[in-house]
Structure 1
Amino acid sequence: MIATRLVFSSLRRRPTGFIASFVALFFGATILMTFASLLDTRTTAGPDAGRTLLLMASVVGGWGMVIVLFATLSTLSLLIRQRAPELALLKSAGATPSQIGRMIVGEAAAVAVLASATAVVPSVFAGRWLVGLLGDTGRVPAGLEARFGPIAVSMGTGITLLAAITAAAVAALQAARRGAVEALREAGVDTRPTGRIRVIGAVIVLASGLGCGVVTMTVFAGTEPALMAVGGQGAILAAMGFALLSPALLGPIAALLAAPLRRAGVSGHLTAAHLRVRSRQLAGVLVPIILFTGIATGTLSMQAVENTAGTAPARIARSIETLNYVVVGMIALFAAVMLVNTVVAAVIGRRREFGRQRLVGATPSQVLRLVGTEGTVLVVVGVLIGALAAAVTVIPYSVARTGVLVPDRTIGLYLGVIAVAVILTLGSHVGAAAKALRSSAIQAATRG
């Protein structure tokens, strides 16, 4: 009963965190339900159309599910880590670890259920549009009636709820292991090493991505239908592997950039200090940048290579190209939304820090420059790591299909993806900081 009251009280008093969690889960549930609705449509389709719908729901929807789960877990974990002072004070006031755990899991479950229910309506229309597109490109019979039923609802709701509860349970377990004093200290300075399980998982995922690249370049002759499926997995897995390693990578990068940043003035000096003592929290912003850059660059470049090869019949080639762009567009849009959502949540969560900086003499413009400098460093690091992830798909696929190591068209695509990543990252950084600075310094420092 106490935990239930804490759940609704916390959601009511933390609108920013609630909105950020809701946005992440809403878009994730929408993508999951959209592709799962193909399985509902399959129940009334013929054998050939049924196989196509099953393949697209399983392969494309399956990878969409993995990306959604990964990004959602990352966002919710970041939001919960930001609440270290609140959780520490609850423990100091007598709350037991189990009560805090039930509160965190209860919040995540409540938001997940609300987000899943809200995602039903847009998913119905998105599913109809996707089936219509499949009909227009000849993958299923034209005029096939799209259905949205129990499979879409149960899979979308179940997976979204599972992702939210898993993220909350892991974060709650970590919070329960730390004492109140330790949690308060780590709220401002968190230099703990990256967990062994996370590093092992990252190495396995990254090795799997590299394995896909090696298979693409050495095993296939360059004309097999499975070539694009295997090659495309390389960038996705590599991006996820690098994203998991982001806390461990940011520390050495921060040490390397410390001297140049300090020469950039006060904002650069503070950025160097923050990268050193808040690497785990700032690494949470790197995750969506890496995912967006790596997946968008890798899959779009792969399609550009396919267009250059031009060995498939024109009608089939246009059909594959259209579907690839749609799938990539949906996943890239989700990654872009998660990027903005994560950045805004991370910056808004630092209102107390900004208030204290202003109380000791920093002006709002100096705080904005600090946030802008941090955002610049993060986006540069993110797009470079994302490029490494994309290379796991682009280079092997280009060699297999055209014999060229790096096709010329990929450079323009990469620059376009970089431009979008920079605009989204810096725009959301500065915009969120400007919003956080609207309240007075005293109010921000005391209330957060």
Structure 2
Amino acid sequence: MLRLALRTLRLRKGGFLATFVAVFFGAVLVSACAGLMETGIRSEAQPQRLAGAPIVIGGQQSIDIAREDPAEYDATKGKDLKTRTGTLPERVRLDAGLVDRVRSVPGVTDAVAEVSFPVTVAKAADVLGHAWNSATLTPYALTSGTAPAPGEVVLDAGLARNAGLSIGDRIDVAAHGSASGYRVAGIAAAPRAMTQSALFFASSDAERLSGHPGRVDAIGVFATRDVDAVAARVNNVVRNANAVVLTGVDRGQIEFPEANASGEKLIVLSAVTGGLSVTVAIFVVASTLALSTQQRQRELALLRAIGTTPRQLRRMVLGEALVVGLLATALAAVLGPLVGGQLFEQLVANDVVPSVVAFHQGWLPAVVASGAALLSVVLASVVAGYRAGRIRPTEALAESAVTVPIVTNPTTVTAERLRKNGYVRRGGRPTFGRISNARWVTPTRVILGALCFAGGTALAIVTVAVMSGPVAASTAGPAVMLWAIGVATISPGVTKVTAALLHAPVKLLSGINGWMALRNTRVGALRVSGAVTPIMLAVGIATGNIYLQTTQEAVSNQAFTEDLRADAVVSGPGGVAPELVRRVQDVPGVAGASEYVTSSVYVEKPYESGQNDEGWPVVGLTAKGAVQTTATQVTAGGLDALSGNTVAVPAKLAADLGRGVGDSMTLRLGDGARADVRIVALLTQRPGFENFVLPAELVAPHTTAGLAPQLLVRAAPGVDTATLTTRVREATTGFPVRVGDRDALIAAHTKGNEVGAWVNYLLVGMIMAYTVISVVNTLVMATMRRRREFGLQRLSGFTRAQVLRMAGIEGGLTALIGIVLGTVVAAGSIVPFCLVASDSLLPSGPVSIYLVVIGLAAALALAATFVPAWFATRGRPAEATAIGE
């Protein structure tokens, strides 16, 4: 049968080309997602500043929160069964005293502390300040000048060249909320290209400007030889210091901790998109292969008539599909890494992934993509070959026949003439077109459809009854595919029903051509459903995911603006100095000013099992201005008591933990530091956007920057925004800050949401592009295979224009059915989410999104039907009928 399959492929290149295209693009998409996942798992960032040290010690960026319950202790793993592990959002620093302990380890020749902090100099971006004694970690070497003394700096060669600075020049450097003048003492160069410019200070200046005296970011260790053995001994020394010891390429994780965070994002994004792509690929390949097999029904029936067994027929269909699948996956394995690399570059360009992360795509993603593509081919070929091998030869030959009575007058076709010439029997049953007795209601379809609809309904109920806020998207999103699979199982039946419902309006608007198109659609429901399914997927996935994203953005922005009462904002590249708060509070026309810092915390005691791996969001405010600058609703206590180790907690969480005003709890701050705090207020916040409120003086020192990045300012009654910003700008003269109005703060928050939205649009766009290809693929293949049918219709009295109008109406009906089903699929996920997130049945976002989606779907369906029909009817009708099937 394999030899017969290969001969069939040679003779039917056009039909199998459609399957090749579907498998190829599916494999490329899955391969690209698998490459992104491998990159996320590796999270490799080559060390730069620390490249000269073979061993690097950094802080442990993860944390374990455990329940203290001996009954749930797992002795085999040495931890509590309820332990939760989270990733700390802020850089975890080490005690500077650890340097001397490491230096005394046998085999260690030297240990050097590293501190890094952002600085602004000569309007240059991406500049980090360091202590000069850590220059050896790269290593940087002086090309001219001398090492810096207090009040002096050494610039790297690139920064000096771009800023036009030379030895002896004076420059203003802004760091840690203040600006000072420094003398350029030297110029240094590194042996390799660096992504960030370096500015070196004397050790005393660097410690002061870092904002974390007595703490270091990392420790570089130099060893004589046998690095691994020395690293093991160093690890024994620092084991209890909340530190990790890394060598090789892993050292980059300490220098660039953001690489790990981006790796987690890549894993999630690629897993969701890859899984969605595999599901879509199975649909597309199955519909394409099923249509191809259906169009060869007469050929397969002849094979059965000459003695081919059902098993042999199935093996032939499987062999044909596997040959096409292997060729498609082989080509996809070559192009997959290229597509994955392009997607990764787009993620880097849009600040989703830091540029220091290296893209990796080895052999494993190619194997995964090939396996997924071939699995879809096997499943599709098994389904397609099942009925071809099961049907009796006489039934198959009858099904593939085309009955076209002769019309005596070929110039005009009317409904009455169709009846007289045998097109329509008594009762309205058609006798023309491709008659099919194929049953679309099968046990498999019924069971699969019932399971998918039940799953989609269950997710909708969970979304409405259990979820709250943006997290509801985690259950609403997967519902799209469940509804899509369920609808796809019944699409032939829905196609027939829709065609029947549209009978009167279509006939009224388009006459006999529309009547013929409706008859063809109803009779060829299985064929039409092969094109309806990808249109439904494209409309459903695009509409559902885009409106989920726009609704999330709108709800997030609304929650942010509802909680914001500030009229102006003061921000600085290195943070806002604490003394600036007092100065702004004394400005005439200021009703209140508060630091504003964000981070995350973990509830350690009492144990809070509901917190996720990212902990609880926290906002740090200044007690004196908290009430004036924010609109957080307080149900008990007061925000004016936020000072020292205190906290305001969401009321619902406090009730779950059995805590109230005056009670204590233990938190782990953003850098892992433990803080015992007293509850001074209970808050009522929008569901899904709950956060803790702590004193800014407690939160800021435990962030990477060490300072609050923003200062919120509220105008007194009768003071307009322009007057307020002018007075605040005058009061902050001499500080490295900028003053903006309320809109600037909202715009900054909106921009942060746009990054996530861009990722969603990119990934949805990839899947839509694939489904669009499948739509064109399926419709072109289905239409071109109807040349004989079109020829017979023209011989029986139809003009070419009538055939083309009929084909165009069929394309419109196919698009309409797919759009309706896609809208139902999208509504199955959007409506439950909107009820939870915004108390509305309709999503947030412009209606133009939906109009563009359905407009593209309709245009593609019409073009992919009309253009092939035009080519199929170019020749003389007699030649078309002689081609046969």
TM normalised by structure 1 equals 0.93
**1:287 lines up with 2:723 in the alignment:** no
Shift of 1:256: 2.3
Q: Greater helix percent: which structure?
A: 1
Secondary structure of 1:265's aligned partner: helix
**1:257 lines up with 2:491 in the alignment:** no
Tell me what 2:552 maps to. 306
Tell me what 2:460 maps to. 213
Tell me what 1:247 maps to. 492
Tell me what 2:756 maps to. 320
Shift of 1:209: 2.2
Identity of aligned residues (%): 34
Q: Out of 321, 329, 338, which is 1:125 matched to?
A: 338
Check conservation: 2:16, 2:292, Cα contact below 8 A: no
Determine which structure has greater relative contact order: mean sequence separation of CA pairs < 8 Å that are 6+ residues apart, divided by chain length.
1
Deviations 1:131-178 (A, max 9, x none): 334444555432322122122111111111111122112221211111
Q: Out of 271, 274, 282, which is 2:520 matched to?
A: 274
Tell me what 2:480 maps to. 235
Q: Out of 78, 90, 96, which is 2:303 matched to?
A: 90
| Aligned equivalents of 2:470, 2:497: Cα separation in 1 | 42
**1:190 lines up with 2:436 in the alignment:** yes
Deviations 1:6-26 (A, max 9, x none): 222211211221211111111
Q: Out of 14, 17, 20, which is 1:16 matched to?
A: 14
Deviations 1:401-446 (A, max 9, x none): 2223214635221111111011000011001111211233223223
Deviates more, 1:313-322 or 1:351-360: 313-322
**1:354 lines up with 2:790 in the alignment:** yes
| Aligned equivalents of 1:80, 1:229: Cα separation in 2 | 38
**1:363 lines up with 2:610 in the alignment:** no
| Aligned equivalents of 1:135, 1:208: Cα separation in 2 | 37
**1:383 lines up with 2:630 in the alignment:** no
Secondary structure of 2:42's aligned partner: coil
Tell me what 1:67 maps to. 280
Tell me what 2:37 maps to. 39
| Aligned equivalents of 2:29, 2:444: Cα separation in 1 | 29
Shift of 1:216: 2.3
Greater Rg by CA? 2
| Aligned equivalents of 1:109, 1:181: Cα separation in 2 | 29
Shift of 1:28: 0.5
Shift of 1:67: 1.6
Check conservation: 1:131, 1:144, Cα contact below 8 A: no
Deviates more, 1:123-132 or 1:327-336: 123-132
Shift of 1:250: 1.7
Deviates more, 1:306-315 or 1:174-183: 306-315
Check conservation: 1:35, 1:61, Cα contact below 8 A: yes
Secondary structure of 1:105's aligned partner: helix
Check conservation: 1:250, 1:279, Cα contact below 8 A: yes
Deviates more, 1:165-174 or 1:201-210: 201-210
| Aligned equivalents of 2:871, 2:13: Cα separation in 1 | 14
Tell me what 2:23 maps to. 25
Shift of 1:246: 0.3
| Aligned equivalents of 1:407, 1:445: Cα separation in 2 | 52
Which amino acid is the alignment partner of residue 881 of structure 2?
Answer: A
Shift of 1:43: 5.0
Which amino acid is the alignment partner of residue 22 of structure 1?
Answer: F
| Aligned equivalents of 1:408, 1:145: Cα separation in 2 | 37
Shift of 1:193: 4.1
Q: Greater strand percent: which structure?
A: 2
Secondary structure of 1:194's aligned partner: coil
Deviates more, 1:414-423 or 1:434-443: 434-443
Q: Out of 346, 351, 371, which is 1:158 matched to?
A: 371
| Aligned equivalents of 2:474, 2:512: Cα separation in 1 | 48
Secondary structure of 1:142's aligned partner: coil
Which amino acid is the alignment partner of residue 354 of structure 1?
Answer: F
The CA RMSD measured in Å over matched residues stands at 2.0
Tell me what 2:392 maps to. 179
Deviates more, 1:70-79 or 1:39-48: 39-48
| Aligned equivalents of 1:413, 1:203: Cα separation in 2 | 31
Check conservation: 1:16, 1:348, Cα contact below 8 A: no
Deviates more, 1:293-302 or 1:352-361: 352-361
Deviates more, 1:92-101 or 1:307-316: 307-316
**1:296 lines up with 2:535 in the alignment:** no
Shift of 1:215: 2.3
Deviates more, 1:290-299 or 1:112-121: 112-121
| Aligned equivalents of 1:86, 1:22: Cα separation in 2 | 21
Deviates more, 1:144-153 or 1:49-58: 49-58
| Aligned equivalents of 1:82, 1:316: Cα separation in 2 | 51
Shift of 1:299: 0.9
| Aligned equivalents of 1:170, 1:374: Cα separation in 2 | 26
Residues paired across the two proteins, number: 444
Q: Out of 323, 328, 345, which is 1:115 matched to?
A: 328
Secondary structure of 2:773's aligned partner: helix
Deviates more, 1:186-195 or 1:292-301: 186-195
Which amino acid is the alignment partner of residue 250 of structure 1?
Answer: T
Deviations 1:352-391 (A, max 9, x none): 2112112222221111111111111221122112111111
Q: Out of 292, 295, 306, which is 1:79 matched to?
A: 292
How is 1:433-448 mapped onto 2 (pairs within 5 angstroms)? Answer: 433-447=869-883, 448=885
Tell me what 2:449 maps to. 202
| Aligned equivalents of 2:442, 2:330: Cα separation in 1 | 35
**Structure 1 unmatched runs, 5+:** none
Shift of 1:230: 2.0
Deviates more, 1:137-146 or 1:116-125: 137-146
Check conservation: 2:548, 2:843, Cα contact below 8 A: no
Check conservation: 1:231, 1:393, Cα contact below 8 A: yes
| Aligned equivalents of 1:143, 1:115: Cα separation in 2 | 34
Deviations 1:11-53 (A, max 9, x none): 1211221211111111111111011112332453255444333
| Aligned equivalents of 1:43, 1:243: Cα separation in 2 | 35
Tell me what 2:271 maps to. 58
Check conservation: 2:549, 2:760, Cα contact below 8 A: yes
Deviates more, 1:391-400 or 1:76-85: 391-400
**1:423 lines up with 2:670 in the alignment:** no
| Aligned equivalents of 1:67, 1:211: Cα separation in 2 | 22
Check conservation: 1:37, 1:148, Cα contact below 8 A: yes
